[in-house]
Structure 1
Amino acid sequence: MNASTTTDTATPTPVLSFSPVVLPVPGRPVDLQVRVTAPATGTGLPVLLLSHGHGPSHHLSSLHGYAPLADVWAARGFVVVQPTHLTSRTLSHLVADVPGAPYFWRSRAEDMTHLLDRFDEIESAVPQLAGRVDRAAVAVAGHSLGGFTASLLLGAGLTDPDSGEVVRLHEPRIKAGVLLAAPGRGDVLNGPMAEQLSIFRSLDFSTMTTPALVVAGDKDDSRHFTDMGPDWHADPYTLAPAPKSLLTLFDAEHGLGGIAGYDAAETTDENPERVAALARLTAAYLRTQLRPGDDAWQSACEALAAGPGPVGRVETK
């Protein structure tokens, strides 16, 4: 990564954002549309695939969401690639009767594989990006349902509730991941959403071997799924094999301070400082994972522990 795009400076680092990049995919009911956000300068830039959640807003569950993270990640040297999954509310009128609706769990993971398979097209479509990307350095991040998608790409398995098939969607080109308020184990599901998202019931983290940072809010109590409490969102750390890290954010609810969008009305715990800290910490984690020898994560953890009024705590195994 170019140093000018990854260090803290008084002057914001310019980023470029380009959308939509449109990729027709055979068998997909609508074209795959993508936003790419990247630093204006620098070469050897790693790729960060970002999977959106399934929240109540119309446009945040699409390539238009998660700017508070995408902008910072790009400023710190990542090429952030955001697809609009078929679960997006922007597409609900087009895909309501398509097989796999409404959650399209398999399609969401397959979207990310399509992006990697066709990165030549993405790179050539985005002005000023060609020749600046390190395609061997790829990570994935996802929030909520996007965290579930990222879990599958990182190696978690499940059983298809319709066919009984054991499904593995592990993507070996992805070297690290960040799971943001992702769902946990399925044997504790007892809320009103448990039946609708029965795919969660068989989720197996024991095969999720790719390094990952799990981010959980200590006030993220998802009673619509389980009465296990906020610890449910730490399951991808607790139940997966090492190497893993867990960042527990203090006083954070499911929106983790408002990561889905600037001034998002449905954010119940809006906290710009928390979002900024989360963006910095996750960028540092991925820098270290994708660039062995880079001490960004160690430095970020030391600063977190030493600072007054820390936003959270980190555990590692």
Structure 2
Amino acid sequence: MTELLGADPDIEVVGVAADPFIARDKIKQLAPDVLTLDVEMPRMDGLTFLQNLMRLRPMPVVMVSSLTEQGAAVTLDALALGAVDFIAKPKLDVARGLAGYAQLLTEKVKQAAQARVAPVLAPSAAPRSAGPIAYRTTDRVLAIGASTGGTEAIRQVLSTMPADAPAVVIAQHIPAAFSSAFAQRLDRNSRMTVVEAMCDQPLLPGHAYLAPGGRHLRVERSGARWMARLGDDDMVRGHRPSVDVLFESLARHAGANAGAALLTGMGNDGAHGLLALRRAGAVTIAQDRASSVIWGMPGAAVALDAAQDVIPLTRITERLLQAP
């Protein structure tokens, strides 16, 4: 990793640490802009080190994790503790994919250098019995799109949704090996029932549906019901699932019955879809710069005048639930 990062002319590797205790001293001495952190280290596990780091010296951290069920859970723990992003460890047979891995690694480190990082408190689960709020109609459908920093932003939005909220569909840029664990984590922290979306699945009030990693999620109308459709077609703006794909399907099929929020993330995926939703009469929201880890995607939507409201993360649930 030192060689891969050091080969980029815009990145200087200022230090390498074999364990967290050495890392602690080198961080004090070298004051790096970004830290890459392995969960599996001698003398102290990466999560304990990360928790101490974010409490004492918050800084952008990119986790390096294994693509396993346990690795996915630990990585999501790290994101909850304040890590900006993660990258999977390369497979043992790296000869064919090393160049692509190097590009992804350097991109994530550069993105992390732009992130807003602050101390993060451990999340608390939301009781499913709370939130007895009734809404005017069950015909509405809500959508959320996010990328870098989005796992925690989405968790915060869903944790304040009432149990009887309209159906919510979610597109988060995430690998296929991680999306199931992410859906389960959201479910534990929400009054709604949160699942990975399945193809031809009816979308029900009180339920949230996460696009599986590596598949596009679309919403279509079938008689009196909203339905989830999954697709393996080409990436859009470099992503599958793509927020634009989800939002544009809602613009076509739901129009003014939809509400959508574009949250923190690098790039511009979702900006054009949010504009299509606004033109179709939907409620459209962009997370503001101050509460975003990376204000790329919501900033791109604001530049297109796609968002009716540009508001902090803490106000997004309330605005989504309001009728147009």
Task: State the TM-score, normalized to the length of structure 2.
Answer: 0.31
Q: Which has the larger radius of gyration?
A: 2
More helix by share: 2
TM-score by length of 1: 0.31
